[in-house]
Every structure is written in structure tokens, then in C-alpha cells.
Amino acid sequence: MSGANNSFQRALCPLLVAGQCFALMPVSGLTGYDASTLQFRWLSPRVAYTFLSLVGIFCHLCVCVRELVVADHITYSACAPPIFFAVTFLATCFYLRLATKWPDLVSKWQTVEQTMLKDYGYPRNFERRCKFCAAFMLTASTVEHLMALYSCLLRALPRSTGGLDVVRAFYTSWFEQAFKMTEYALWKSLLLQLSNFLATFTWSYMDMYVTLVSMALTEKFLQFGEGLRAVRGKAAPLKFWREARQLYDNLCCLTRTVDEHISHLVLLCLASDLYFICLQLFNSLKNVKTLYGYIYFFYSFGYLLFRASSMCFCAAAVNEVSQKPRDVLYAVPAGTYNAEVERFIDRVTTDEVALTGFRLITLNRRLILTIVGSIVTYELLLVQQGNGQGSFSEELEYAANITIM
Amino acid sequence: MSGANNSFQRALCPLLVAGQCFALMPVSGLTGYDASTLQFRWLSPRVAYTFLSLVGIFCHLCVCVRELVVADHITYSACAPPIFFAVTFLATCFYLRLATKWPDLVSKWQTVEQTMLKDYGYPRNFERRCKFCAAFMLTASTVEHLMALYSCLLRALPRSTGGLDVVRAFYTSWFEQAFKMTEYALWKSLLLQLSNFLATFTWSYMDMYVTLVSMALTEKFLQFGEGLRAVRGKAAPLKFWREARQLYDNLCCLTRTVDEHISHLVLLCLASDLYFICLQLFNSLKNVKTLYGYIYFFYSFGYLLFRASSMCFCAAAVNEVSQKPRDVLYAVPAGTYNAEVERFIDRVTTDEVALTGFRLITLNRRLILTIVGSIVTYELLLVQQGNGQGSFSEELEYAANITIM
Amino acid sequence: MSGANNSFQRALCPLLVAGQCFALMPVSGLTGYDASTLQFRWLSPRVAYTFLSLVGIFCHLCVCVRELVVADHITYSACAPPIFFAVTFLATCFYLRLATKWPDLVSKWQTVEQTMLKDYGYPRNFERRCKFCAAFMLTASTVEHLMALYSCLLRALPRSTGGLDVVRAFYTSWFEQAFKMTEYALWKSLLLQLSNFLATFTWSYMDMYVTLVSMALTEKFLQFGEGLRAVRGKAAPLKFWREARQLYDNLCCLTRTVDEHISHLVLLCLASDLYFICLQLFNSLKNVKTLYGYIYFFYSFGYLLFRASSMCFCAAAVNEVSQKPRDVLYAVPAGTYNAEVERFIDRVTTDEVALTGFRLITLNRRLILTIVGSIVTYELLLVQQGNGQGSFSEELEYAANITIM
Amino acid sequence: MSGANNSFQRALCPLLVAGQCFALMPVSGLTGYDASTLQFRWLSPRVAYTFLSLVGIFCHLCVCVRELVVADHITYSACAPPIFFAVTFLATCFYLRLATKWPDLVSKWQTVEQTMLKDYGYPRNFERRCKFCAAFMLTASTVEHLMALYSCLLRALPRSTGGLDVVRAFYTSWFEQAFKMTEYALWKSLLLQLSNFLATFTWSYMDMYVTLVSMALTEKFLQFGEGLRAVRGKAAPLKFWREARQLYDNLCCLTRTVDEHISHLVLLCLASDLYFICLQLFNSLKNVKTLYGYIYFFYSFGYLLFRASSMCFCAAAVNEVSQKPRDVLYAVPAGTYNAEVERFIDRVTTDEVALTGFRLITLNRRLILTIVGSIVTYELLLVQQGNGQGSFSEELEYAANITIM
């Protein structure tokens, strides 16, 4: 059955398999057609890999925190490395926890899919879109990572004595803090690079994951909405409305279940995106000197913005499409209006169906503007601080120079 | 039929025709009495004109962005020219897109008008009000533009060698940045002026357009509300309530359809107004030296405030009038209370009918205070930044002077 | 009938008569027992007095604005005098407009009172409380005004040449700006003082007025709520619930009518209180030198805070008490639950009954914390600005001194 | 009956008895099994102890305020001591007031417990959890207090002349301000220390108290929710739904009653936690010099954060669990859907059941993020202020030094 490729499990498969390369989501049987193929075991190479990755990221985190404590000067920018690794560390933990519950979640999803199968089928082209998203994400992240490597290489070249020493120069310049604490060795560098690599991907992965899961939910609601719109303004039997209401109820419960499993991930995602967008904007206002610096900055900032906003819009779409049945229900002709329609209307208008960030925020369209407003406010506050200090000391220097003359 | 002049299509006609002079809304048949006269064709002189205008504004935009990048010092005020042209460029694009869907939208509107025609007629004097608004907008914008020209002429006069050279001095002073990049030529100047002229009008046009469309919606709801208020506290048959509810439903759907077509325009409008109000307020706090400067500043700031607030209040009115039926429905006598009334109450109390800004914000009365609060906060933040730097360097200069003595 | 003294018209009478002494609310027949005694005529000495007051306040306003423009240095504190007179000017206009509609409003109120008279009577002791509030307000405002006079006298004494010249010194010091523009004359001083006096009282009067009107509304809802609570959990006939719902509906309509008449006054009140609280807090952070300065500052700031918060809490109470019927309705026994109770519940839970500030904000409990939060934020922003400049120039002076040595 | 140990009165008993050691909640008979054993008398040693404590805290408060006025330099940090004692003074007053109503409240709670006893029993292990929380709180607070003592001792040691003089040095260094005003005496020191001790505990006690009361409410809703979930999707008779709805109604009323008694305490708690978190964060950004300083800072800040967030999450849980019945109600099969279920749905969806802060804020999950957002904003504003002044004067000093050379 070709349509089954558009099922939740099959469509998300490429993304999850990609995630497993980065030590995320250590579940076996992802490529199967049925939830029963999925299995999580604590004693498996996948989980071991995840733990290794956690250890690596933890090392990075320790180095960064130590650096911060030693520097004894906490600024907004200086906090970025420890926050980056703390976020990826937490994310890996969250995915590990999610993995233990993944078979269960997919099986619940499949139950809903089975219910809808006869009347609605699978969402069309959903698998293709997911594949495209996963591929896009992997490519874009790889390009970003390569650009970062190249940027570091440019800095390392002058310090190298030529030949293969460029490798040493490169690594000591990249993991400067780490190799202050311990002596340089190639194997250490390679391990550090691997875990750094995993961390970088984990960071982008989160947004993409939330985006795709939201899209999957949205698709289900859209399918349902299409079926409903077909009877808009027409007479439909009580039985139709009862089944529609029950299906809607199932979809809402599914959304809640998904939310219970990923809401902490969503919050982490939102918080880290907010932090890094503010940071990049803040940096953008300082001078970027070289052309390559410009390109790198705009690429990575643009990618971050794209990821964050696509996540927000996709997650908000779940809330939006869950409200679509309203119009049809309001327009039910007086003749066929019945207790089931009334109950359905009550259901739709009194319940807020949406993904949330640890249930602290509801991801809807209004949230997006709130976030933009926060970014503008924090940015103005940060700029002021930065400006105040920056231009201040420069001008003081100027004043001092005059007085010395 | 004289009343038909108050139909949506006829009433908005003057405004839209005026818009076409500025390369907006390239639809043919605007002056007709029926939606069927409207037609959009990609291959028409109107669309060609729009594309020419887009090219012109895009050139301006490029010049401004280049200037900003070269200056290498990004401040709030320095961003104004690129943002101005970006906004007008986007607005022209949005109007082009809207034009493709305009015949459809008007025809939907006409359907609702036909339904209401027998019992409610057309809104009275609506055409006259629209004409007045359009005339007012055109006059006020022209005056502002002329004042800007005069202001620039004052600056240009000292640089002129007399005679016809004043034209050259005028244009080189106005398009300073452009003529840094390319040599001066009269035809270039005229083209630049034309597109500058179009951009300036487009900017004011947006607010006025949203205002008038909101007013048209409000009129419909008001007509409906009047009809309803006539039966307040009186017995009315079930059939009356059913028809009232269905009509209300139609009006809500119309509002949603309109919103789908113009919500991105509304967001652009709100964002640009917010930006330029903050900017002008910020400038007002710096010294304006000459009397003419004072007059020009207060005129243009006042006009901006008037446009923005009239847009906000008119758009919010749609939400307000959509809630009017509540009072009548709550007061339906117990004897004639029936399932239709109950459904009507449910409809009115559970649905939020309003124009939105790209569905990110709902335009209601509360929004207005939120905007005012944001302006105050941003202004305080900006002033601080400006003040900090301004008064700071002055006082430092003062300190330095003392030390030099 | 002694109870009739607690009617709306009688209870507010002392406050309104006091208002007339300050040229507010120029309606005749305030002391009557019936709305029919109230009358507004444009050609009456009361209205003439109001216009004279408006002229006087307008003169003050002009002097202040001129001063501000000449000084050419707009700061937060410098804007206080023009804003003060603008607020009182607007308030006087609003009261004039309100006066034209007062007979109508009171007659609507009386209709509701008549409906409730048999079952609920008039609110007990309401007149006494209103009298107390009016007396308190008058006393507190008089004391504040006298303290301001004394404070000015202290400043004037050193400039006086003794004897009756102290009067000249006093007035020239008080109306410094005015007597810069025109020559000193006793009659001018007395006129200026009179209008200044009126403005000061008008300012406090607004808060007190809104407080008392809110209290009157609250009383009505409380009376209604008490009657309802008597049947809590007991069986009551359908007729009882129908009448209760209709009465509740009347009360809600009354609240809306009152709101339509005073909402702009409420907004003015809120905005001016917010501005002056921020201002006084801001000033408190600067040094107040003398003991008398301390006492005066704390008295006037405390009085302002008291007025503002009592207004907010009383106005919010209207919203709170309008929600009280919920509990009783939820607890209606299953046996006597009927369509009327259901409609009543729908009414109470779907409608927001509250006073508003020009319908831009709803006055409820939550608003109070929003206001407190705004004050804290603005204060932090202002302090920073002030601090930055203040301590800045002092330290610069210090630095300069060192370098000069 | 062993289960009765999990009743509200028994479970909170350890916490309340601990509170009595710190002069809070002067009610007798706390250890009883029945509300009838509780008794509040104004003339009792417990109340006398409370009043003594109030006098002691008031003395501290006066000393701190005097210090602040004399210093004539009001900064954010300098306000901390008076605010600390004002908060604890108010808290003690609030507990005294609460004590007068405690027997009443517990008896209402017991009525609800009796209703639920047959079908639901008492919440399991609730007493154990409460005991653990009380023990944890006491231990953690004691440790913090001891660390503060030790920290002060370290400062006092160099000033001591050896031997028993270390006591004098210790106390004069701790109560520096007090012993500036009055001569040193050991008995004064001991009294001061006692009341300081009481104040410190009162401060932590508030959070823990609100946490436990919230937990007790949550437990009741959870028990109810479990019973309901047992019939999810199954047919249940009308009588079942009626009783469920009535019980839910009772629980909501109980929540409201509890809220009426403790809402002012909750607001005080929230406001003081917000203030002190901002303060500690602000301090953390300054340099903490010694290792012991680091440990003490992180311990006390961590404890504060833990207390505040556990309070917020527990209080928000009341709101969350009160919404749990929704899912079950939405899923009632069409066959057994009846008027009682409809009323129940109306009840759950239209009423907001939650603890509040003086009814100005509702304690729900969304609030938590609002608080976090406020902390970030205020922190950025404060840092700026601090930074501005700190780094400013340092750099100026530097500039001045150069000029002197």
C-alpha cells in the first residue's frame, strides 16, 4: 500500500534516522510500517552512543563553565558557549526520555490513523515533504558547520608552521579553552570535534523536529476539516455529526498526548532560539570586519531565523486548524441542527487545542508577536548596555588624549 | 438607482481610482456598478505601470541600503530610508496580489449586499463619506509632499549657481545618495522623483485604504444592528431570528474573507506606522531649529498620527459593532426565547469577529492601548540611548575644554 | 421617606454640589429627590461660571506651554505644568458635556431603582458614606492646597521687602512665568489664583467622582447579590429566576450606560494619575532638602496614591460584584434547574460587565497589577535617564575639578 | 483510623506546629483529629508570643528605615533590609489574622473531606509528604541561617580582641546599625537575634505554607479526577453525574474559600520573592570575592529559587487539576449525555478555579513565564543602572588619573 508511506511513522522515519546519527532518539525499528516494530531497550548500542554523546557534550560544558568562572566577567555574549552546550545536553536527555515513550506515542497515533483511514486516507505527499525538510535541514546545517570550520581555519592558518601542523593549529584555535587545561593530542581533538559536531546538529535538529511533528498534527486536522467542509450548509444525519465530533475529540486527545511528550522540548527550543536570536542581533550591531564574516553572519543568522520562525508558525498552525470546524458548525442549517452539533460547537469553542511550551505558553499566532516584541525590547536594552560601555570608553579615551596633550 | 452609489464597489471607487494613479490596484472596470465589470489581466498597461513603479522603488531601496552599508554605523534614524522604501515596495506587491483577487472579493461582498438589499438597503451617505476621505487623503498627502519639496528647495538654494541651475541643485540635494553613485542627469532625476512620489503616496494610501474597508464593514454591521434593535424586548417569530442569525453569519464570513485578503497589508501598515511614529517622536526630542522646520514637523507628525489612529479606531470598530447584537439577544423576552436565539447568542459570544494583522494580532480597542504602551516604552529606551550619547559627548567636550584651558 | 436619601441622586448630591463650587457639572436642581428636578440649560449662570473657569485654565495652559517652548529643553518633569492644566481643562470640558446628559442618566438610574425598590429597597447608609467621602476629599485637597501655598510663601518671604509687599512677592513667585510675560497687578493675581485653585480641585475631584459612581453601581449589584444568595441551594420558582435575570440585565445595561457617559473621564483620570505618580516617584528619588519639604512631599504623594488606588479598586469592584451571581447559579439544585437559570448562567459567564477607560481598557482587578508593573518599568527607565545625567555631570565636574587643580 | 492522618488538619499539623515556634499561627489544638479541637483566643500565651515577635521585628524595621533615611542615598540594594522586615512584619500580621479564621476554614475543609470520605477516602501518603516538606524547609532554613551567622563571624573575628569579646564583636558587627543608635548590651543582642531569627524563618515559612496548602487542594482535585477517569467513555447514570458535579462544585467553593483567606499572603509571598530574586541576581553580577562567599551565595540563591518556583508550580497545579474533568466530560458517549453532563461541562469551562494573589493575579502556569519575563526585564534595567554607575566611575577615575600625571 503506497499511501501508508504517508503515515506518521513512515513520514518521520528519515528525520528520526538522521537524528540517530547524531545520537538522538535511540529507538530501534524506526523504518517499519507499524508501531509494533518500534522498541526501546536501555541495553542497546544506540543508547550507549547517546550516553557517549552526553559525556562529550558534558565535557564541553565543563570547559566552558570553567572558562566563564575564571574570566570573572559575566556578559551576555560570554554566556553563549555554556548555554549552547547546556541546551544541547538537555536536548539529548529529553530525546532519550522521549525515546522510551516513542513506541507508545506512535501506537496511539496509529490508532487515530486507523480510525481515519477509511474516510480520509493518509495525508497526501506528506512523506515527500518530510523527506525534503529533513534533507534541507541536514544540508543547511552541514553548510553552516563547514562555514564555521572554514572561518576557524582562516584564524588558525597564521598560527600554523605549515604542513600538517595546520591540523594542530586548527584544533588548538578551535578548542582553545580545552587545550589550555590539557595538552594537545590529535585523538582528543577528534573526540572533541565529534561531540561538538553532535551538539551543533542537535541544536538545529530540535526546531526541525518540532516543526515536523506539528506539521503531522496539522495534516490530520486539515484532512478532518476538508471532510467537514464538504457538508458545509448541507443537511447531514445525526450520526455523521456524532462521528465527526468523536473523531475531533480523538484528534484533540492526540494533540494533548503529543504535547505531554514534547512540551519540555518545545520550551527548550523556544528559549534557546530567543536567546541566540537576541545574541546574533546584538552581534550584528557590532562591526563585522571581513566580507567572509558578513556572509557567514548573514547565513547563520538567516538560518536561525528561518528555523525559529518556521517552528513557531508550524506549531501555531495546529491551534489554527483546530479552530477551522467552527465555520462549518455555525453554518449548519436550522433544520439539521441537533444536540450533537451543539455539543461539537461547545467542544470547539471552549477548548484550546495547541502545542505548548511546558504548558507555560500556548503556541498560537499571537505568541509570535509577543516573541518579536520581547526581542525588540531586550535588544534595545542590550544595545544600550553595549553602546553605553563601548562608545563610552572610546570617547573617554578621546577626552583623556586631549587632556594629555 | 441612486442608492446603489452607496454600494461597496461604487463607494470605494474614487479611492481605488486614485490608487491606480499611484500604480496600486491595477484592476480594470472599477467604475462599474457590478462586480462583473471588474477584471484583472496580467497583460495590461495598469500592471505594466505597477511593475515600472516597483522597479523605481527598488532602485531607491538599493541606493538606501548601499548607503547604510557604506556608512557602517547603523542607528535607529539611519534605517528610516531603507525601511520606508522596503515598506512601500512590499505594499505595492501586496496591492498587486490583492488586485488579482479583487473581482472575487467584490463579488462576495455584492452577494451579501444583495441579501440585505430588501430589508436594509445600502448604507446611507456612505459614498459621500468615502469621497470625502479620499479627497482629504489626497490633499493632505499632496500638501505634505509639497512641504517636503519646499524644505529641500530651501536647502538647495545656497548650492545653486542661479537660473535654471536651481533644478540641478535641487535634485542633487534631494537624491544626494543616488547622484553620488551616478552622474547627474535631468531624466534620471525626473524618474527618481516620480518613483519617490509614488512611494510617498503609497505609504499614506495604505492607512486610508484599511480605514475605508473597515468603515464599509462597520456600516454593514451597523445596518444589521439597527434592524435588530428595532425588535429589542419585543416578541419576534422564530423565522425572524433564524434569518437574522444567518445574515449575521454571512457578515462574519465576509469579514473573515476580507481579513484573509488584507491582513498582511494591515500588519505592514501597523508595523510601519509604529516605526515611523517612534522615529518622529524621537526626532521631536532633538532640536528643530527653524520655524519652517517646526511647522513641517508638526504637520507631518500630526498627519501620521491622525492616519494611524483613524486606521486603528476604524478597524477596531468592526470588532465592536460585531458585538452589538448581544444586548438585544440578552433582552429577548422569556416567552419568545427559542433555540435560534440561543444559537445566535452562542454564535456572538464564542466567536471573535475582527480584522487582524496577519492573524498575529486582532485589531480591537484593547490593541490601541497596547500600541500606545509600546510606543512609550520604546521611546523611553530610545531617548535614553540618544540622550546618553548626545548629552554625554557634549558634556565630555565641555570637560575636555576646561582641562585644555 | 428617609430611605430615599440613599437614592443615587440624593447620595451623590453633596459631591456634585461641591463640584459646582469648582465650576464642574453645571446642572440645576441637584438637591431634588427626583430626576425631573434636574435641568441643564446652556444659558445659566452655572454654565457661564464653567466657561470662565475654562478661560482661566486655558490662560494658565498657554503660559506653561510658552514657557516649555522657550526653555527648548523638554524633560519629563518640565512637561508636568502644561500636562496638569491640559488635564484639568479637558476634565472641565468633559464635565460640561456630562452635565448636558446628566438628567437623562439619573432618570435611567431611577428607573432601575424603582424596579428594585419593593424587593431590595435603597442601599443602606450609602448617603452617609458618600457625604463622608465628599467631606474627606474636600478637606484633604484643601490641606494640600494650603501646604502648597505655605511652601510657596516660604520661598517668597526672602524676596519681599516687608509689610504688604509680601503679597506681591508671594504672587510673583507663584505665577513667575505669567508675570514674566505681563506686569504684576493684584487683580490679575487673584484671578490667576482662583483658576489655579479650580484646576487643583478639579484634578482631585475626578478620582473621587469616579470612585463614588463606581460605589453606587457596586451597591446595586451587592443588593441584588444578597437577594440571590438568600435562595442559594434552595428551590425557587421559574418566575423568580426570570425576574432575577431581567433585573441583572437591567443592572448590566445601566452599567453600560454609565460607562458610555464617563469612560473618557475614566481614561483621563487613569492616564493623569499614572503620569503624576511616575513623576512624584521620580522626584522622590532626588533629594528633598528640608523637613517641611519631606512632609509636603509625603502628604501629597500619599494623597495621590490613595486617590488613584481607591478609584482603581472601587471601579474594579463593579466588575467583581457583577460576577457574584455565578456561585449561586452553579449551585442551583438539579430539581429546580431550568431554562431561565441556564440563560442566566450564559448571561453571567459570557458578558464582561465593567467600567472602562474609553473602552480601551477594562477596569478590573488584573488591571491594577498591570498599572503597578508599568509604573515600576517606567520608573526604572526614568531613573536611569535621570541618574545617568545627574550623577554623570556631578562626577564629570569632579573629574574636571581634579584636572584643573 | 490510620487514614485520618492524611486529613488536611493532621497533614498540615507538623508545619503549623513548626510555625508556632516562630510565633506564627497562634491557634491551640492543632494536633487534634477534628476541627472542633481548634481554638483561637486573643488572651493566650501564643498570641502574646506573636505580639512580642511583632514588636521585635518592628524594632528591626525602624532601625533599618532610620539607616536608609540617614544614608540619604536610596538604591535598589539599600532598600533590601527595610523591605525584608516589612515583609516579615506583614506576614506575621497576616498569620495572626488567618489564625482567627483558621478553625472555621478547617471545619469547612472537613465537611468536604467527609463528603468524599466514602467514595474517595483520604489522599494517600499525603501526611508523609507534608512532614517531609516541613522537615526539609526547617533544615534548609536552619542551614542558611547558620551560614549567615558564620559569614558574619568571619567578618567579626578581626575586630575582636580575643576571648569572649568575640561575642561582642560578632553582635556589634551583625547589628551594626542598631548599636550605632544604642549602647551594646548582651541582652539587647540576644533579643535582637531572636527576632531576627523569627523574621528569617517567617520569610521562608510563607512559601512553604502556600505550597502545602496548594498541594492539599490539588490532592482533593486529583482524587476526584481519578474517580471520574474511571468512567471515561463508559455509560454512567444521571445520578452519578449529578453527584460528581455537586462534589466538583464543593471543591471549587472550597478553593475560593481558601483563596479568600490566604490570597493576601500569596501576593506578599510573590512580591517579596520577585524582589529578592532580582536583588540576588543583581548581586550575583557583582563580584563575590571569596570561595565561602560563592558557596553561601549559591546556596541561598538556589534555596530562594527553589522555594519560589515550587510555590508557583504547586499553586498553578490547583488551576491545572481543576480543568482535568474536561477530557472525561467531552468523551461522554452520546447515549449517556444528559443535562447534568452539559451543566458540568458549562461549569468546568466557564469558571476559573485557582488561587490568586489578592485577586490581582491568578496563579496559573502562564503566570510563571510572565514572572520570568519580568525578572529578565528588570534585571536588564538594573544591570544597566549598576553597570553605568560602576564601570563609569572607575573609568572616570582612570581618566582623571591620567590627567593628573
Q: Measure the CA–CA gap between B255 and B214, rounded to whole angstroms.
A: 9
Given the DSSP bridges, would you call strands A361-362 and B356-357 parallel, antiparallel or unpaired? unpaired
CB D392 to CB C392 under 8 A? yes
The residues near C178 (Cβ < 8 Å, ≥ 6 apart) are C59, C60, C63, C188, C192
Q: Which residues of A touch D384 (CB under 8 A)?
A: 381, 384-385, 388
Q: Which single residue is written with the C-alpha cell 454609565?
A: C258
* pLDDT value, residue B392: 36
Helix, coil or strand: residue D39:
strand
Q: In terms of CA atoms, which chain B residue is nearest residue C254?
A: B327
The residue ranges of chain C whose pLDDT is under 50 are: 1, 388-405
CB A252 to CB D330 under 8 A? yes
Chosen for mutation from C352, C403, C404, C405 (greatest number of chain B CBs closer than 10 Å) is C403
Q: In terms of CA atoms, which chain D residue is nearest residue A394?
A: D395
Q: What is the mean pLDDT of residues A386-392?
A: 44
Q: How far is CA D265 from the centre of its chain?
A: 8
CB B382 to CB A377 under 8 A? no
Q: Does residue D104 surpass a pLDDT of 60?
A: yes
CB D366 to CB A388 under 8 A? no
Q: Which residues of B touch A327 (CB under 8 A)?
A: 253, 256
- Asked if A67 and A177 touch (Cβ cutoff 8 Å), the reply is yes
- Closest CB from A249, A360, A403 relative to D365: A360
Q: Measure the CA–CA gap between A323 and D203, rounded to whole angstroms.
A: 46
- Asked if D363 and D353 touch (Cβ cutoff 8 Å), the reply is no
**Could you write out the DSSP letters of every residue in C148-207?**
HHHHHHHHHGGG--STTHHHHHHHHHHTHHHHHHS---HHHHHHHHHHHHHHHHHHHHHH
Q: What angle do CA D216, D220, D226 make, to 5 degrees?
A: 135
Q: Which amino acid is at D250?
A: N
Interface check for D146 against chain A (CB to CB < 8 A): the answer is no
Q: In terms of CA atoms, which chain B residue is nearest residue C351?
A: B349
> Which CA distances in Å does C320 have to B230, B359, C181, C266, C315?
32, 31, 52, 18, 9
CB A360 to CB D366 under 8 A? yes
Alpha carbon of C271: minimum distance to chain D alpha carbons (Å):
20
Helix (H) or strand (E) holding B357: strand B356-357
Q: Measure the CA–CA gap between B177 and B183, rounded to whole angstroms.
A: 11
pLDDT > 70: percent of chain D: 92
Q: Does residue A395 surpass a pLDDT of 50?
A: no
**Better-predicted residue by pLDDT, A156 or B312:** B312
**Could you write out the DSSP letters of every residue in C305-358?**
HHHHHHHHHHHHHHHHHTTTHHHHHHT--GGG--HHHHHHHHHHHH-----EET
Which chains are adjacent to chain C, needing at least 3 Cβ pairs under 8 Å? B, D
Q: Measure the CA–CA gap between C343 and C338, rounded to whole angstroms.
A: 9
Other C-beta atoms closer than 10 Å to the C-beta of B285 total: 16
Which chains are adjacent to chain D, needing at least 3 Cβ pairs under 8 Å? A, C
Number of domains in chain A: 1
Q: What is the pLDDT of residues B145-188, one digit of tens each?
A: 999 889 888 888 888 887 788 888 888 888 887 788 788 888 88
Alpha carbon of D399: minimum distance to chain C alpha carbons (Å):
8
Interface check for D387 against chain C (CB to CB < 8 A): the answer is no
Q: Which amino acid is at A226?
A: E
DSSP class of B288 = P
Q: Is C307 left (phi over 0), alpha (psi -120 to 50) or beta?
A: alpha
> In this complex, how many residue pairs, one in chain A and one in chain B, have their CB atoms less than 8 Å apart?
66
- Closest CB from B256, B343, B381 relative to A337: B343
CA atoms within 13 A on the CB side of C202: 31
Interface check for B369 against chain C (CB to CB < 8 A): the answer is yes
- Closest CB from B285, B388, B399 relative to C388: B388
For D290, counting Cβ atoms within 10 Å of its Cβ (0-12 exposed, 13-18 middle, 19+ buried), the class is exposed
Q: What is the mean pLDDT of residues B129-152?
A: 90
What is the dihedral sign for C-alpha B36, B37, B40, B41?
A: positive
Q: Does residue A1 surpass a pLDDT of 60?
A: no
Q: What is the pLDDT of residues D27-62, one digit of tens each?
A: 999 998 888 999 999 999 999 999 999 999 999 999
pLDDT-based confidence at B384, cuts 50/70/90? low
pLDDT-based confidence at D392, cuts 50/70/90? very low
Q: Measure the CA–CA gap between B113 and D370, rounded to whole angstroms.
A: 46
- Give the cell for residue C119: 424587593
* pLDDT value, residue B2: 53
* pLDDT value, residue A288: 65
Q: Measure the CA–CA gap between D56 and D48, rounded to whole angstroms.
A: 12
- Asked if A206 and A269 touch (Cβ cutoff 8 Å), the reply is yes
Owning domain of residue B53 = 3-404
Q: Measure the CA–CA gap between A137 and A303, rounded to whole angstroms.
A: 10
**Better-predicted residue by pLDDT, D394 or D292:** D292
Alpha carbon of B384: minimum distance to chain A alpha carbons (Å):
8
Q: Does residue A389 surpass a pLDDT of 80?
A: no
Q: Which amino acid is at A252?
A: C
Q: Which amino acid is at D43?
A: L
Alpha carbon of C348: minimum distance to chain D alpha carbons (Å):
10
Given the DSSP bridges, would you call strands D361-362 and D356-357 parallel, antiparallel or unpaired? antiparallel
- Give the cell for residue A311: 517552528
Interface check for D71 against chain C (CB to CB < 8 A): the answer is no
Q: Measure the CA–CA gap between D280 and D270, rounded to whole angstroms.
A: 15
Q: Which residues of A touch D396 (CB under 8 A)?
A: 396
For D178, counting Cβ atoms within 10 Å of its Cβ (0-12 exposed, 13-18 middle, 19+ buried), the class is buried
Chosen for mutation from D282, D329, D330 (greatest number of chain A CBs closer than 10 Å) is D330
For B248, counting Cβ atoms within 10 Å of its Cβ (0-12 exposed, 13-18 middle, 19+ buried), the class is buried
Chosen for mutation from A274, A360, A376, A401 (greatest number of chain D CBs closer than 10 Å) is A360
On whether ipTM exceeds 0.95, the answer is no
Mark out the alpha helices in D121-237 (DSSP H runs).
126-156, 165-174, 176-181, 186-229
Q: Does residue D229 surpass a pLDDT of 90?
A: yes
pLDDT-based confidence at A72, cuts 50/70/90? low
- Nearest residue to B356 via CA among B255, B205, B206, B245: B255
CB A330 to CB B359 under 8 A? no
* pLDDT value, residue A323: 94
Other C-beta atoms closer than 10 Å to the C-beta of D80 total: 17
- Asked if B184 and B171 touch (Cβ cutoff 8 Å), the reply is yes
- Give the cell for residue C36: 425631573
Q: What is the mean pLDDT of residues A115-132?
A: 91
Q: Measure the CA–CA gap between A348 and C404, rounded to whole angstroms.
A: 77
Q: What is the pLDDT of residues A270-281, one digit of tens each?
A: 999 999 998 888
Interface check for C117 against chain D (CB to CB < 8 A): the answer is no
CB within 8 Å of chain D, chain C residues 306-325: 320
The residues near D32 (Cβ < 8 Å, ≥ 6 apart) are D9, D38
**Better-predicted residue by pLDDT, C400 or A377:** A377
pLDDT, averaged across chain A = 87
Q: Measure the CA–CA gap between C256 and B323, rounded to whole angstroms.
A: 13
* pLDDT value, residue B350: 93
Helix, coil or strand: residue D130:
helix
Q: Does residue A182 surpass a pLDDT of 70?
A: yes
Other C-beta atoms closer than 10 Å to the C-beta of D157 total: 13
* pLDDT value, residue B20: 93
* pLDDT value, residue A97: 96
Q: What is the mean pLDDT of residues A15-29?
A: 92
Q: Is B359 left (phi over 0), alpha (psi -120 to 50) or beta?
A: left
Q: Measure the CA–CA gap between D257 and B91, rounded to whole angstroms.
A: 56
Chosen for mutation from C68, C352, C381 (greatest number of chain B CBs closer than 10 Å) is C381
Q: Does residue D319 surpass a pLDDT of 60?
A: yes
Q: Measure the CA–CA gap between D381 and D378, rounded to whole angstroms.
A: 5
Q: What is the pLDDT of residues B336-354, one digit of tens each?
A: 899 999 999 999 999 999 9
- Asked if C382 and C76 touch (Cβ cutoff 8 Å), the reply is yes
Alpha carbon of B153: minimum distance to chain C alpha carbons (Å):
27
Q: What are phi and psi of C230, to 5 degrees?
A: -60, -25
pLDDT-based confidence at D166, cuts 50/70/90? confident
CB B361 to CB A380 under 8 A? no
CB C327 to CB D256 under 8 A? yes
- Asked if D283 and D382 touch (Cβ cutoff 8 Å), the reply is no
